[in-house]
Structure 1
Amino acid sequence: MPLDHTPPLNSLGFAKAPADTRVVVAMSGGVDSSVVAAMLAEEGYDVVGVTLQLYDHGAALAKKGACCAGIDIHDARRVAEDMGFPHYVLDYENVFKDAVIDEFADSYLGGATPVPCIRCNERVKFKDLLETAKDLEADCMATGHYIQRMMGENGAELHAAADANRDQSYFLFSTTPEQLDYLRFPLGHLPSKDATRALAEKYGLRVANKPDSMDICFVPDGDYASVIRKLRPEAADPGNIVDHEGTVLAKHDGVINYTIGQRRGLGIGGLAEPLYVVRLDPDRKEVVVGPKHMLATRTVPIKEVNWLGDEPFNSRSEWHVSVRVRSTRPPTDAILRPLSETTAEVELMVAEEGVSPGQACVFYDPDSSRIFGGGWIHRG
């Protein structure tokens, strides 16, 4: 019987020594991606760090002297210097503006509530950056996302992170099977963010105690309206706040200042029951309000479906899944009915409030941690 001289798989799943395995690490300058880079460098991998310059805070905020992501780039570069691997900064500002920022502004003006982080992963990080990694002859690309890649009978599968509080599956549902083959997520199995920070301390990283960024990167102060007002000045046009029958109740100073489900700040008093924003009509410059029950939705139209199941999406008339219709909501039981290869209708078993066009609807296996993909909620 011949001896099998195939080397064992390394921690990234390749049958060769770490030193012979090149991995590009997408480095944001934060603690998560810095730990990934340091961990792989210590394990002996041929690490190449890449940081994307995506936006200019000064341009986004129209402020003199605003930071242009320089601190994050500096932090990423210092980690690379300390751990002894090369680091590159790529200027993707034009790509990012065309693929992410412009759509963010337009969809907000269209009355939707966009999630630009998903589009950034889909159109920039896991597309252009991934191609750059291949140009650098890397075997794979690693990121600091909290999600798990597991090998199943039919290849790589996407699974939720071990720490439900850090899970980023909602933002990564559009990862394609081809991208999943090439990507690695070394932090997805960790039990908590504390464990990540402990690793940063172990590797002596100066970013070990750097606070997490909670805002959208090009909206650093959380003020969406001011960014959109600069990009699309017409967004601040005044209009009427009306009820579902069209009766004018108040005036507003721009639909961009309102979101589906909002109750506070409507300037409508003296009513028997509180009113909520149930719809935005940018063409008519109207904010439509109604009682809370009008927010409840059971049928959700989905477009741009990305399917990660083993069987073809259209092979069944319906799939019993769990879905998440907002990043802050837990998955809920639903029936997923394919209408075409990329469109579907989701029937929620229990009505959800505040389901908004522009948000993602992510599909989960109700019996495991696996993600079956997802799509974008639209008006139908």
Structure 2
Amino acid sequence: MTLPRIAIDAMGGDEGVRVMIEGAALARRDHDRFEFLLVGDEVRIKRALENHPNLRAASEILHCEDVVGGDEKPSRALRRAKTTSMGLAINAVKEGRAGAAVSGGNTGALMAMSKLALRTMPGIDRPALAGLMPSLEDHDVVMLDLGANTEADARNLVQFAVMGAAYSRIVNGFEKPRVRLLNIGTEETKGTEDLRNAAMALQQAGNLSLQFDGFVESDKINRGTTDVVVTDGFSGNIALKAIEGAARFVTDLLKTAFTSSFRSKVGFLVSRPATELLRHHLDPNNHNGAVFLGLNGIIVKSHGSANAVGVSNAVKVTARLLEEDLTKRIAADLGEIEAQQLGLGAK
């Protein structure tokens, strides 16, 4: 079976071409049926490919020297979509030259360009940014929205739940992921009217490929008792940054503690296997790859500071979403929602 190729914005991210190419090469070792469209400066890309003949043999280069700046306003980036590596990678998906695109560039610009070029799927009012976070169990937690929409009503939240569950079924292999809405308490009376209405709608949706388990508080997100956490982009982005900050705080605190004295250094040597496991588990590169769900095409955001392993994980996520036909799964579940007429009202 011929799979649609993946477009790589080779100029995106803090370190640009070298890391993006190295990450794509690592990913192709596990997904060698894929081909790639590498978008960026041809001279720099060819130089980077010299060390990766396996990727070079499966890639086409689309030359482009223009880059979206990390702090560039989305409105300005939109006007330059036809000349930037990010815009051309997205346009390749729109034109069918690629089945998906990966970029480590400006998140706001990537969202704006993707939504304008690809539009939302039928039945989706707003796309959502879904990411992976570590948990105490062997699987990651899917969380959305992480910043695409500052506000979300009950209808949006139900759509996010459907999309997040479809994503979790692919990346974690769950038949019916456990879905919860982020709230300030777990009682049915807690939260806004939109949260309560969304919860009621999901409880009534018996034929969906998900298990709705009510509300979850932010301190339970990573406990492993929930597979998909659903919220608006404002709350989701704050929760994500708080969790990432807490992880960095813990690792920095341990580093300081273990270097504070000779006895502490000896203790570090004894406990090093455990601390290395902790560091690996909390490393964002091992959970890299956020996807814009709800678009007519797959767009994956790699963290701007990701190393080659992080980029590789983002590309691997992209490959799996293409292999498992994420958009088709979401469309099928949305059909179930519409058929049950959940009374949330179309906009």
TM-score by length of 2: 0.25
The structure with more strand, counted as a fraction of residues: 1
Q: Which has the larger radius of gyration?
A: 1
Higher RCO structure, 1 or 2 (CA under 8 Å, sep 6+): 2
